[in-house]
Amino acid sequence: MSNAFQEKIPLGKTGLRVSRLGLGAAYGATTAGYEEAFERGVNYFYWGSLRRKDMAVALRNLSKQHREELVVVVQSYSRVAGLIGRSVESALRKLKMSYADILLLGWYNAAPPERIMDAAMELKEKGRVRHIALSSHRRTLFPELLSDERYEIWHVRYNAVHRGAETEVFPALAPLAAPARPGLVTYTTTRWGHLCNPRRTPDGEATPSGTDCYRWALSNPHVNTVLSGPANIEQLRQAVAALERGPMDEDELAWMRRVGDAIYTNDVTTKARDRY
């Protein structure tokens, strides 16, 4: 019997139905691993910061029979409007696809200039991408963009150490019915692996696994999907196991907050890492 995390859900107002876990290509998981994840329910694939061959091969293989089930994200960091289309077209050629479901405009700490949005919307009008997403490390930017219908998906940093989204992002969504909200995808869920590092765990507490980190983030009702960047099959399986374990109870949530608070307090780089 499936639980709440195994069901695909609407990604905000996009109309896409997505798995609660998404996988990124940047860290070295294998083609077979991505295909295994799809068989276990994952359909959100972020071929983004590093467009590694293993995910590309997996997506080409899967799309032969399952293209409409896949949600494929390509990213552009380009601040040159004319290069965004070239980047997307290059990605589509390598994936052997006619469109990407999502174009993610990467790492903007202010609203993208109109020249960038014009280029993105042109790709959407041509059918080369279907939806526009934005990622930012300045959490307060997202509520400022809430009324701009062009931004259909928000990629927001959120983990048990850096919980600022709970006060700076999620409250802006609370008044809106789920079908009227931007889709919300979170990243850096393990806080660069720090939450899973026993040397950073406070005395008397168990060290969280990757599974625990993803379950923690997904237990927040505002989060649609969490991104994982597995480096190997073990990490990939830990991430997918979060879907099978389901939501955390209150005791587990409190434990994760205690571990997160200790890391936040004891890490001398915290202010630099969480400056927004």
Task: Please report the DSSP string for 216-258 in residue order.
Answer: HHHTSTT--EEEE--SSHHHHHHHHHHHHH----HHHHHHHHH
- Quote the pLDDT of residue 261: 97
CA distance 253 to 257: 6
β 9-10/17-18 pair status: antiparallel
Q: What is the pTM of this model?
A: 0.95
Q: What is the DSSP letter of 79?
A: S
The residues, ordered by sequence, that sit 6+ positions from 204 with a Cβ below 8 Å of its Cβ are: none
As given in the structure block, the two tokens for residue 148 are: 């701009």
- Quote the pLDDT of residue 271: 66
pLDDT digits (tens, 9 = 90+) for 124-148: 999 999 999 999 999 999 999 999 9
Give the CA distances from residue 208 to residues 19, 193, 197, 202, 255, in Å, rounded to whole numbers and listed in that order.
22, 10, 8, 11, 9
pLDDT digits (tens, 9 = 90+) for 157-211: 999 999 999 999 999 999 999 999 999 999 999 999 999 999 999 999 999 999 9
Mean pLDDT of 217-245: 95
Mean pLDDT of 30-44: 97
CA 258 to chain centre: 24
CA distance 43 to 59: 10
Q: Is 141 helix (H, G, I), strand (E, B) or coil?
A: helix
At the top level of CATH, the class of 9-273 is alpha beta
CA distance 41 to 189: 19
Q: Is the distance from CB of 22 to CB of 46 less than 8 angstroms?
A: yes
Residue 1, pLDDT above cutoff 70: no
- Quote the pLDDT of residue 50: 79
10 Å CB burial of residue 16 (0-12, 13-18, 19+) is: buried
Average pLDDT of the chain, as a whole number? 94
CA distance 190 to 211: 9
Q: How many CB atoms lie within 10 A of CB 20?
A: 24
Mean pLDDT of 74-92: 96
Q: Is the distance from CB of 57 to CB of 44 less than 8 angstroms?
A: no
